[in-house]
Chains A and B, each alone.
Chain A
Amino acid sequence: MYNAPLIFDRRKFLKLAGRGLVVAFVLKDYLSFAGETPQPGSPMAPPGEVGAWIHIGEDGLTSVYTGKVEFGQNIRTSLSQIVAEELKLPVSSITMIMGDTDLVPYDAGTFGSRTTPQMGTQLRKAAVTAREALIELAAKNWDVSISGLIAENGMIVNSATGQRIGYGGLTKGQQILRTISDNVPVIVAKDWKVAGKSLPKVDGRLFISGKHLYVSDMHVPDMLYGKVLRPPSYNATLVTADVSKAQAMPGVTVVQDGEFIGVVAPDVVAAGKGLQLIDASWEEKTGQPSTANIFDYLVKNASGENNERGSENTKGNVEMGLKESDFQLSQTYHINYIAHVPLEPRAALAEWVDGKLTVWTGTQRPFGVQDDLAVFFKLNKEKVRVIVPDTGSGYGGKHSGEAAVEAARLAQVVKKPVKIVWTREEEFTWAYFRPAGVIKATAGVKKDGTITSWKFVNYNSGSAGLDTQYTTSNKQIAHLPSKTPLRQGSYRALASTGNVFARECHMTDLARLIKMDQLDFRLKNMDDDRFKAVLQAAAKAFRWNGPKASGHGYGIAGGFEKGGHVATCAEVLVNEDKEVKVLRVTQAFECGAIVNPHHLENQIMGAIIQGLGGALFEKIDFSSGKILNSSLSAYRVPRFSDVPKIEVLLINREDLPSAGAGEAGIIGIAPAIRNAILDATGTGLTVLPMIPNGTLTTDKY
C-alpha cells in the first residue's frame, strides 16, 4: 500500500492532536505559530517517527537528534557520516544535536560501546526512511512515479529529465512524519561512500583553537561561582560549622542544608577563600579499610561461596574435570582501585528560570541526571533540562551528576546561575573508581593442551569479561559482590580489565605447564573465528616466532567484549636492575564494518596507552577513608615517555554490522605485558598494577 509521507509541525501537531496520535494531515506554516520559538526536535515527538531524530531545514541544513554525548569518542563525526551516507547529504550540512534532554529522544546513556551498534543503527534507519519519504514527496510534487528518482547530494533528482529539487524545498522546514521501519534498505558497507572513510573530527578547528566551550568554560550573565565543603574522609559526620567569617565576605553567600555547605561568590577566588574560612569540625570514622588490607576485606565481605554453585555459568563438573587433568594450576589475582582521571574534572552550570531548572554538565547519562535532579528537587521531569556540551572525557567515570546537583542547590538559593568546577583533588576523592577485586582461578589441563576444568571466581570487581572465551567441558564461573570501602562504578570495559587479565595470565601459565607455545595453546582451545583471526593477525605482524634477544620477552593476550575483538602482542625488556621497559606492542582489532578508520585507530591506540597505566603503575592509595594520592603528581598516568612503539592493525569486516570500539581495545595490553615479563624472566605477576615503582619485584601486593 502506498503510504504517503506526511510533513507537519511537531509542536503544533501535538498541541492539536495530542501525544501518540498519528493523524494524516499537513500543517503548512511552521514559522507562523505565534508565541512559540520554532524548535525542531522536541522530546514530545514519538521516537518511532523520523521527525524525532532528523529535521531538514528549509535551507537544507539538517539537524540530527541523539541522546548520546561526545566525550572524545568522535561519535559526533561517525554518526554524522552514517546519516550523511544514508540521507545522501554532505557531512558539512549536518548538525548533531546531542545530549539535550529538551530536544532529543530519551537515551539511557553513553556507555557499553553502544553508540555505534545501537544509535548508529537507529539513525541509519531514520535516515533511510527520510530518504524514501523525500523521494515520494518529490514524486508527488512532479506527479511522476518514484522509479527513476534518486537522492543525491541533498537533492532528489529525476534521472530521466534531469529535474532536481533540494530537500529543504521539499520539506519547507516542516517535520517528516513517517514511521521508521526496521526493514529499510540500508546501504551495505562495501558500497559506502561517506561512512567507512577517515573524515576529520567535526568542529576540529574549534578544539585546536581553544574556542570550544566545555562546561567548565561556560559563562552566562549574572553567573556566580560555587564551592562545596568536603569532609576530611569518607563517612565523616559534621559536628559543627562556623560559617560567619565566610558569610561576612562581601558578595559571598553561604548555603547550608544539613551537612551540605556551599559557598557562592562573584569570582572563583573569593569562593575558594570563603570555603577556607569555614571552621568545621568533623567526627571521622576510624578503622576503615586501607590499601594494605583491602583484598582480604573484599574476600571476607563477599556475598558467600554458595552463590558459586547457583551460578548460571556452570557446566559439567569442575572437580571431575580436575581429576581428568595432567596438570592443575590455582592462582589468585589482585586488582587495585584505579581512577579514570578525565582531564576535565566534573563541572556544572545551573540556572533556574520561572521554576524550570537548566543544568549544563558533562555527564554520560543526561537523562539519568535529569531524573536525579527531578527526584532531588521534587520536580516533574519536564521542569528539568540537562544539556551536555562536548566534554573533556569520562572513560566510564562520568555516569553521575554530583556537580549538577550541587550547582542546582546553590543556584536555587542565590537565585542566580551558579557554576561549579571540581578541583582535581575533588575528582580523585569524591568521584568513583574502577572497583578493586580479587580473582581466584583454578584450572586443569591435559598434556595435549585440552582444558578439562576452569573455575573462576571474582570477588567484588564485577562480571564483565568473567566467562572464559576458550573451550572447556567443565567450568564454574562466579562473581561475588562485596562491600566496597571506596565508591566504585563503571570504567572503560568495566571489570573485564581485571577478569581478562586473570584469564589471560592463567592461559599462558597453563601453556607453560605443558610446554606449549602460548599462542598455539590459545588457538587449540578456541571456537570463535573472529577471536582466532585477530590473534593470528597480531601474531603475524608482531613476528611472534621471530628471534628474541636476551632479557627480552614476548607475551600475547586477547578476547572479545561488546562486539570488539582484540589481540595484543607485547615485547618487554627486563634489564639486570630488573627495570621493565615495554618496547613494542602490536594490537589487532576487529569490530565489524569500520565507520571511520582514523578515528578507530586513534581510539584503539588511546585504549592501549590508557591501559598501560592500569597495567603498570596506576593505583589508588588509601587509608581509613582518605585518598592518599589525590593529585596528578602523586597518581601517575601514562605520559609521552611511557609510550612504546605501537602498531595497530584494523580488520575491516564489511560483511558484519559495526560494533562499538571505545572499550575492548583496553583489555589486551595488561596481560600481554605480564605474559611478556614472564617470558623474559620466569616471574608471573598477579597484581594490577604490576610495576608501580618501575622495577620488577615479587611482592605479593
Chain B
Amino acid sequence: MVLDVNGVKHQITADPDVALLNVLRNQLGLTGSKYGCGEGACGACTVLVNGKPVHACITPISNAAGKEITTIEGLEGNGKLHAVQEAFLAVDVFQCSYCASGMIMSAVALLNSNSSPSEAAILKAMNGNICRCGTYPFIVKAIKLASKS
C-alpha cells in the first residue's frame, strides 16, 4: 500500500485496517500527530486527508491510501511556518501543547474552507478538539488572527 504523506510517497507494509496514526507515528516517524483517546473524541491526532480533517487514530490506512495526507510536519514550507502556525505562535497560545498539532490542523482545515469564519463557526469546527489545559479562548484568538492574514 502506498501512502502519500506531505507530498512524499511511502510504501507501507501493514494490515489495511491498521490506524493511520499508528503508521504515521511508528513507521514514518511523524510523531507530531498525537494519540489522545483512540476513538476520535479528542482531536489530538487530526490530519488532513484530501484537505479534510480526519481523526488518524480511527482512520484505517486503507481509507487514506491514494489520497493526499497532510500532517503538522507538512505545514511548513522551506523552513517557513504556515500562517496558522504563525498566528498560534504570535498569540502564544499553549500550556503543555500536546493538543497543538491537532488544533492547528483543524484550524487549517477550517480556514481552507472558510477564510473568515464567525466565532460561532470557529467553535463548531473546533469542538472536536480537546485542550485539557483550557487554552480555548487563546486558540479562538489565534484563529481569528490567522483569518485576517
- Which residues of chain A have a CB within 8 Å of any CB of chain B? 71-74, 198, 200-201, 204-205, 207-214, 216-217, 219, 225, 267-269, 341-345, 390-393, 395, 421, 423-425, 598-599, 602-603, 605-610, 631-633, 637-641, 643, 646
Decide: A72 near B42, CB < 8 A? Known: A213-B31, A269-B14, A343-B34. Answer: no
20 contacts between A and B (CB under 8 A): A72-B133, A204-B89, A204-B94, A208-B93, A208-B94, A208-B100, A209-B72, A209-B81, A209-B85, A213-B31, A343-B98, A343-B130, A392-B34, A392-B96, A392-B98, A393-B96, A393-B133, A424-B36, A424-B37, A602-B95
Query: Is residue B115 contacting chain A, with contact meaning CB distance below 8 A?
Result: no
Decide: A343 near B96, CB < 8 A? Known: A205-B81, A269-B14, A269-B18. Answer: yes
Q: Which residues of chain B are near A73, meaning CB under 8 Å? A: 95
Of A72, A610, A633, which contacts B94 at CB under 8 A?
A72
A249 to chain B, nearest CB (A): 14
Interface contact A268-B26, CB-CB below 8 Å: yes
Q: Which residues of chain B are near A424, meaning CB under 8 Å? A: 36-39
Q: Which residues of chain A are near B27, meaning CB under 8 Å? A: 267
Q: Which residues of chain B are near A205, meaning CB under 8 Å? A: 81, 89
Interface contact A610-B132, CB-CB below 8 Å: yes
B141 to chain A, nearest CB (A): 11
Of B18, B73, B122, B135, which contacts A210 at CB under 8 A?
B73
B110 to chain A, nearest CB (A): 12
Interface contact B95-A632, CB-CB below 8 Å: no
Decide: A204 near B92, CB < 8 A? Known: A210-B73, A424-B36. Answer: yes
Inter-chain CA distance A632–B123, complex, in Å, is: 19
Of B25, B71, B99, which contacts A343 at CB under 8 A?
B99
Q: Using a Cβ–Cβ cut-off of 8 Å, how many residues does chain B contribute to the interface with A?
A: 58
Inter-chain CA distance A267–B92, complex, in Å, is: 36
Query: Is residue B118 contacting chain A, with contact meaning CB distance below 8 A?
Result: no
Q: Which residues of chain A are near B104, meaning CB under 8 Å? A: 208
Q: Which residues of chain B are near A343, meaning CB under 8 Å? A: 34, 36, 42, 44, 96, 98-99, 130-132
Decide: A633 near B96, CB < 8 A? Known: A208-B88, A343-B36, A609-B134. Answer: no
- Which among A213, A603, A606, A631 has the greatest number of chain B C-beta atoms within 10 A? A606
Q: Which residues of chain B are near A423, meaning CB under 8 Å? A: 38
Inter-chain CA distance A550–B9, complex, in Å, is: 61
Inter-chain CA distance A216–B135, complex, in Å, is: 22
**In residues 15-51 of chain B, which contact A (Cβ within 8 Å)?**
15, 18, 22, 25-27, 29-39, 41-42, 44
Interface contact A605-B100, CB-CB below 8 Å: no
Of A74, A208, A632, A639, which contacts B85 at CB under 8 A?
A208
Interface contact A598-B92, CB-CB below 8 Å: yes
A656 to chain B, nearest CB (A): 24
B74 to chain A, nearest CB (A): 10
Q: Which residues of chain A are near B31, meaning CB under 8 Å? A: 210, 213, 216-217, 219
Inter-chain CA distance A264–B139, complex, in Å, is: 39
Of B18, B39, B127, which contacts A633 at CB under 8 A?
B39
Q: Which residues of chain B are near A391, meaning CB under 8 Å? A: 96
12 further A-B pairs in the complex, CB-CB below 8 A; given A423-B38, A610-B132: A204-B92, A216-B31, A269-B15, A341-B132, A343-B99, A345-B35, A395-B132, A602-B138, A606-B134, A631-B37, A632-B37, A643-B137
Inter-chain CA distance A598–B95, complex, in Å, is: 11
| Chain A contact residues: helix, strand, loop or mixed | loop
Q: Which residues of chain A are near B98, meaning CB under 8 Å? A: 214, 342-344, 392-393
Q: Which residues of chain B are near A216, meaning CB under 8 Å? A: 31, 34-35
Residue of A nearest to B140 (CB): A640
Residue of B nearest to A207 (CB): B97
A245 to chain B, nearest CB (A): 18
Of A209, A393, A607, A639, which contacts B32 at CB under 8 A?
A209
Of B41, B42, B134, which contacts A605 at CB under 8 A?
B134
Interface contact A632-B41, CB-CB below 8 Å: yes
Q: Which residues of chain A are near B96, meaning CB under 8 Å? A: 71-72, 342-344, 390-393
**In residues 107-132 of chain B, which contact A (Cβ within 8 Å)?**
122-124, 126-127, 129-132
Inter-chain CA distance A449–B41, complex, in Å, is: 49
Interface contact A208-B97, CB-CB below 8 Å: yes
Decide: A211 near B32, CB < 8 A? Known: A343-B130, A641-B123. Answer: yes
Q: Provide the B72-95 mask, 1 if CB < 8 A to any CB of A, else 0.
A: 110110000100010011001111
Of A269, A390, A637, which contacts B130 at CB under 8 A?
A637
Decide: A267 near B26, CB < 8 A? Known: A200-B89, A606-B135, A632-B39. Answer: yes
Interface contact A74-B41, CB-CB below 8 Å: no
Q: Which residues of chain A are near B71, meaning CB under 8 Å? A: 210
Q: Which residues of chain B are near A204, meaning CB under 8 Å? A: 89, 92, 94
- Which among A208, A343, A345, A392 has the greatest number of chain B C-beta atoms within 10 A? A208
Q: Which residues of chain A are near B39, meaning CB under 8 Å? A: 424, 631-633
Q: Which residues of chain B are near A395, meaning CB under 8 Å? A: 132
Q: Which residues of chain B are near A210, meaning CB under 8 Å? A: 30-33, 71-73, 100-101
Q: Which residues of chain A are near B127, meaning CB under 8 Å? A: 639-641
Interface contact A646-B137, CB-CB below 8 Å: yes
Inter-chain CA distance A209–B33, complex, in Å, is: 10
Inter-chain CA distance A214–B35, complex, in Å, is: 11
B25 to chain A, nearest CB (A): 7
Q: Which residues of chain B are near A639, meaning CB under 8 Å? A: 127, 129-130, 136
Q: Which residues of chain B are near A602, meaning CB under 8 Å? A: 92, 95, 135, 138
Interface contact B132-A342, CB-CB below 8 Å: yes
Q: Which residues of chain A are near B94, meaning CB under 8 Å? A: 72, 201, 204, 207-208
Inter-chain CA distance A639–B43, complex, in Å, is: 11
Inter-chain CA distance A434–B29, complex, in Å, is: 35
B33 to chain A, nearest CB (A): 7
Residue of A nearest to B120 (CB): A641
B83 to chain A, nearest CB (A): 12
Inter-chain CA distance A654–B22, complex, in Å, is: 50
Q: Which residues of chain B are near A421, meaning CB under 8 Å? A: 35
Residue of B nearest to A612 (CB): B134
Residue of A nearest to B18 (CB): A269
Inter-chain CA distance A225–B122, complex, in Å, is: 38
A352 to chain B, nearest CB (A): 22
* Cβ-closest 10 pairs across A and B: A210-B32, A72-B96, A609-B134, A392-B98, A72-B95, A210-B72, A606-B134, A217-B31, A207-B97, A393-B96
Interface contact A643-B101, CB-CB below 8 Å: no
- Which among A198, A608, A641 has the greatest number of chain B C-beta atoms within 10 A? A641
Interface contact B134-A607, CB-CB below 8 Å: yes
Q: Which residues of chain A are near B137, meaning CB under 8 Å? A: 605, 643, 646
Q: Which residues of chain A are near B25, meaning CB under 8 Å? A: 217
